[in-house]
Amino acid sequence: MQPLSVPKSRKEKTPSSLSWKLAFFGVNPGVMLGFVLLVIALWATTPSFRQVSTLQNLLQQVSLNVIISVGMTFVIITAGIDLSVGSVQGLVGTVTALVLMAPPLVARFGSGVMVLAVLAGTGAGILIGLLNGLLVAFLNIQPFIATLATMWILRGLAEVLTNGSPVGTAMPGTPLASLRNNILEHQFTMLGMGYVGPLPLSALVALITVVVGHIILSKTRFGRQVYALGGNLEATRLSGINVKRILLVVYLLSGLLSGIAAILLMSKLVSGQPTAGSGFELYSIAAVVLGGTSLFGGQGSVIGSVIGALIIGIIGMGLDLHGVSSFWQQVVMGVLILLAVLLDQVTRKASYR
């Protein structure tokens, strides 16, 4: 028996949704307009914003959220959510640092230990994504509950591994202290703080992630299945599509990208900190929803999530440049999340008219 054709997602079924969402690579035109106006306003009113160093700093700050948000886009399009991405920063960062600073590994591999550290961090991210995928796809636990649980588990494991202390500079007198510190502080840190020409290396990694993510989501059969699953889960299952496999891959992808971001963050911080990444899940969700991805599933785009992340980053930098207290910045971010959810609801209602 031949499987039925892939069911259309909400994105494909509503003409008004098509005209509203597919412009600018699927970005809500209203969000795109807001982004352009925000850039123009800061460019006109804040001279320091026009400096190359400021723009480079912005790209460096936004790149981690962009990488995480690409994975979160896939998850939310399936009508799921991944609350563990912030805790991944803490656990993967500490795992990476522990491998990087292990005296036996440094003694044997020298600077080559950096490759082992990256592989360990990436592998940890994949395993975390696999765990989330198994909980959601095969144990049928609601994504919110499953990833809320792993969020706490991962943060606790990071604290246990480090005894609550950062893993960083080796103390004088410890084995290979000078070599280990040189690798950590002068070589590995280039991943998070280095440049390729005028472009921060982390921004280049983010750019590659965005291009690959956009192609997978918009140009491949798997991407169409992701949209279909979020648009109508039961119809997707009845069409013969392996829903469990799609969910497993989507959460695995989120774990992988969160792990890559964690390695870059650890490199930037020059230490593995068990508390690193606190709140990253909220910034990522806000970026994805601001960019036009529906929390109800079936709609969204990688490019839209990038725009959302840039909006959040530019607002944060603009407030910094104008000397606004960090406490007020938290208030603004909370308001942004509310606006993102309201925008999602309004757009969803409009798409069915």
pLDDT in tens, 121-148: 999 999 999 999 999 999 999 999 999 9
* CA separation for the pair 139, 255 (Å, rounded): 18
Is residue 192 within 8 Å of residue 294, measured between CB atoms? no
Q: What is the pLDDT of residues 258-310, one digit of tens each?
A: 999 999 999 999 999 999 999 899 999 989 988 889 888 998 999 999 999 99
Kindly report which listed range (55-59, 149-153, 249-253, 348-352) carries the lowest average pLDDT score.
348-352
Q: Write out the CATH class of domain 10-351.
A: mainly alpha
pLDDT computed for residue 332 by the predictor:
84
* CA separation for the pair 235, 70 (Å, rounded): 26
pLDDT computed for residue 265 by the predictor:
97
Over 70: is that where the pLDDT of 4 sits? no
Is residue 79 within 8 Å of residue 234, measured between CB atoms? no
Kindly report which listed range (4-18, 41-55, 170-184, 310-324) carries the lowest average pLDDT score.
4-18
pLDDT computed for residue 244 by the predictor:
97
Over 70: is that where the pLDDT of 7 sits? no
The amino acid present at 117, given as its one-letter code, is: A
DSSP state, 2?
A: P
DSSP string, 140-209: ---HHHHHHHHHHHHHHHHHHHHTTS-B-SPPTTSTTHHHHHHIIIIIITHHHH-EETTEEHHHHHHHHH
**Mean pLDDT on 155-175:** 93
Q: What is the pLDDT of residues 19-67, one digit of tens each?
A: 444 455 666 677 788 888 888 988 988 888 888 998 999 999 999 999 9
Q: Which residues contact 87 (CB under 8 A, 6 or more apart)?
A: 150, 151, 152, 153, 154, 155, 158, 277
DSSP, collapsed to helix, strand or coil, labels residue 276 as: coil
Over 70: is that where the pLDDT of 10 sits? no
Is residue 90 within 8 Å of residue 275, measured between CB atoms? yes
Over 80: is that where the pLDDT of 118 sits? yes
Binning pLDDT at 50, 70 and 90, where does residue 14 land?
very low
Domain boundaries, the chain: 10-351
Binning pLDDT at 50, 70 and 90, where does residue 352 land?
low
- Burial of 237 from C-beta contacts in 10 A (0-12 / 13-18 / 19+): middle
**Mean pLDDT on 238-255:** 96
Among residues 206, 203, 204, 223, which one has the least CA distance to residue 26?
A: 223
Q: What does the mean pLDDT of the chain come to?
A: 89
pLDDT computed for residue 107 by the predictor:
96
Q: What is the pLDDT of residues 307-349, one digit of tens each?
A: 999 999 998 888 888 888 878 888 888 887 787 778 777 766 7
pLDDT computed for residue 25 by the predictor:
63
Q: In this prediction, what percent of the chain has a pLDDT beyond 90?
A: 66
pLDDT computed for residue 181 by the predictor:
94
**Mean pLDDT on 207-214:** 97
DSSP string, 131-142: HHHIIIIIS---
Over 70: is that where the pLDDT of 190 sits? yes
